[in-house]
Amino acid sequence: MVRMFYFLRRALSDIGRSPVVAGVTVGTVAVVFLIMGVFALVGHNLELLTHRVGSGLKLSVFLQDDCSAKQRETVQKLLKASAAVERVHFVDREEAASRFRQRFSRQANVLDELDENPLPESFEVTFTPAGQHPKTIGALSQKVVNSPGVEEVLYGQAWLDRFFRFVQTIRLLGLVVGALIFLAALLIVANTIRLSVYARQDDIHILKLVGATEGFIKAPFYIEGVLLGLLGASLGIALTWIAFALLVPEILIPGWLEETRLTVAFLPFEMIAWMVGTGAFLGVLGTMSSLWRHLKI
């Protein structure tokens, strides 16, 4: 424990010797983690939106006007046979008319002026969490659409395909950008430790002469790298939170039939802890790279 306090005090002393270099390093790492935080924030909220969209996915199977009871039963059995299906609800003409009046209250009188209800009967299909994916729903749609008695199958195909492709693109872009900026931060920390090694050449030489072990000499540098990484990551996350609090209001997104208000959420604690840990890991990697190249013991 005493030795650990010595290493920590030594690392803090080395940082204090070069406050400008340390400040620039922490600031640069903070900018890196600010960018990472923004991408993580976008990715996290896209995941929340994906789950929200997925939980609301429904397959509407509209039946022909002359669909027989046997054909309707066959379609219902086909839907229930799918492992992705959680519930199959039959919507008769009366319920379809009631829903129309609720959703389009201003046009509700249109139905009253008609001699008969023109709305078709249908099956409304909801899915299990594992089945809430466009490919799964699309496969079931293709299986059902050609069944006798079925007029049309709808689930917002075009919109969903575009949305999920967009999510996949953002994920890939986030991984690529994250890897590049992580590499940049790694080089910055490594250069900072390298400067610290050069500044302490005399001290290192004396420690060698008195018999100090390799671990005893390197430990303060590792602690210095970890501190720089932790400080930079923490500052970057704090800047991300400030930007989030100042710039992100509630967002209104268009739905199929109405507008949906989406409250953007900040990063969860687990993701914040992971980013702070990544900062410490970045410091360790940067120090390891610098010591391996510039400290020959």
Q: What is the pTM of this model?
A: 0.65
| Confidence (pLDDT) at 132 | 74
Mean pLDDT calculated for residue range 283-291: 79
How would residue 108 be classed by pLDDT, with cut points 50, 70 and 90?
A: low
All domains of the chain, ordered by start, with CATH? 2-53+161-294 (no CATH), 58-154 (3.30.70.3040)
How does pLDDT run across 264-276, given as a tens digit for each residue?
788 889 989 988 9
How does pLDDT run across 211-250, given as a tens digit for each residue?
667 767 777 888 888 888 899 899 999 999 998 888 775 5
Task: State yes or no: pLDDT of 259 exceeds 50.
Answer: no
Secondary structure, 3-state, the chain: CHHHHHHHHHHHHHHHHCHHHHHHHHHHHHHHHHHHHHHHHHHHHHHHHHHHHHHCCEEEEEECCCCCHHHHHHHHHHHHCCCCEEEEEEECHHHHHHHHHHHCHHHCHHHHCCCCCCCCCEEEEEECHHHCCHHHHHHHHHHHHCCCCEEEEECCHHHHHHHHHHHHHHHHHHHHHHHHHHHHHHHHHHHHHHHHHHHCHHHHHHHHHCCCCHHHHHHHHHHHHHHHHHHHHHHHHHHHHHHHHHHCCCEEEECCCCEEEECCCCCCHHHHHHHHHHHHHHHHHHHHHHHHHHCCC
How does pLDDT run across 184-212, given as a tens digit for each residue?
777 777 777 677 666 666 666 676 676 66
48-62, 107-121, 224-238, 258-272: range with lowest mean pLDDT: 107-121
